[in-house]
Amino acid sequence: MDFSIHQQLYYSNKNKASIKEIAEGLVALDSLIRQTSPVLEALFPDYKVESIDVYLDEFRSGSIWEDLVVKFVFGSQENFDDVIGRARKKLGMEALMNNPQLFSAIVAVMILTGGAYYVGKDQNATPEKKATIEANNNTIIQIGGGMVDLEGEEFRALIENAVEDKDKLAKDAVRIVKPAKRDSQASIEFSGHPGLKISSDTVKAMPDHVQEPDKEEQVEDYEELLLELRAIDLDSTKRGWGVVAPDLSTRRVKLQLDPTVNPEDLFDKRQVRGNVTVIFGLDKAGKKFPRLIFLREIVEEDS
């Protein structure tokens, strides 16, 4: 057996939005909503959701409206009837069925919790960004807690403790908010409730990009790459060497020599060509940059 509730997200963008970012945001929203199962089970312990299905009911252009249908699936009609019967004896499942904005509050809190979690891990993020996100989150937490007769801190703790994968939550949250970042005044509203809103200041404070751990480093080989020597160390083939590879970047990069490369062959040179292996990292915008160059072989130029 199942029942469905309708949800709406409204991005107040006046500028044009990227189709790619909207599509990625929808996929991330689907992922985040599926992560609400343990939250709902903690909030309403009398029932267990077997699965959650998310459907796009309608998409409207201009400012971006996403109308969704979220379906909660139970194992059987008997199980469903038993759950609802027990839930009616106290505030429980009926609160969710009769007030879809409660689910909107849960989703909004999870988005902001994910954003705050990642900003808290980012050493380059300012304290003001985290404070902005948390202030917005506190407002929605109070609203959501009031819908189920819980204190704000109880509602917050219930959601934060139930989320099983906070890194995944953070990535989904960033992708959901990203379409709004194209407009400095854009906000995100949920299901028509004036208080369930991610403000424009919070949109700006949310991270622009979350690095994928398995993509933080990339390794590529280059043949006859031009290297401009900036620092040498004849006492070590691993420390104290620095080069610029102008075909890759203008920044100085650490150089490491293969044991077969004789440091003396580089001593009186300003630049050389070499067969190299380059280890790239990703910056906050997701663009790769060279972190280390491993010189496998010096290529002698023709006379």
- 79 contacts 141 by C-beta, under 8 angstroms: no
Rounded to whole angstroms, the Cα distance separating 44 from 92 reads: 6
Give strand ranges (E) for 101-241.
188-190, 197-198, 217-231
Q: Quick one: pLDDT at residue 237?
A: 65
Q: What is the pLDDT along the chain (303 residues), one digit of tens a residue?
A: 577 888 999 999 887 777 888 899 999 999 999 999 888 888 777 667 888 889 888 777 666 888 888 887 755 555 555 554 554 444 455 566 667 899 999 999 999 999 999 888 776 778 899 999 999 999 999 999 998 888 999 999 999 998 989 989 999 999 999 999 988 899 999 998 999 999 999 999 998 877 655 455 688 999 999 999 998 877 766 677 899 999 999 999 999 998 889 888 888 889 999 999 999 987 766 788 999 999 999 997 654
Q: In what order do the strands lie in the sheet with 2-11?
A: 51-60, 64-73, 2-11, 188-190, 197-198
Concatenating the DSSP letter of every residue in 193-231 gives: -TTSEE-HHHHHHS-S----GGGSEEEEEEEEEEEEEEE
The end-to-end CA distance of the chain, in Å, is 81
Q: Quick one: pLDDT at residue 46?
A: 66
- pTM comes to 0.66
- 13 contacts 180 by C-beta, under 8 angstroms: yes
- As given in the structure block, the two tokens for residue 83 are 């759950």
Residue with tokens 């705050």: 116
DSSP 75: S
- As given in the structure block, the two tokens for residue 289 are 């940059």
- 136 contacts 66 by C-beta, under 8 angstroms: no
Q: Quick one: pLDDT at residue 232?
A: 84
Q: Quick one: pLDDT at residue 90?
A: 44
Q: Quick one: pLDDT at residue 70?
A: 83
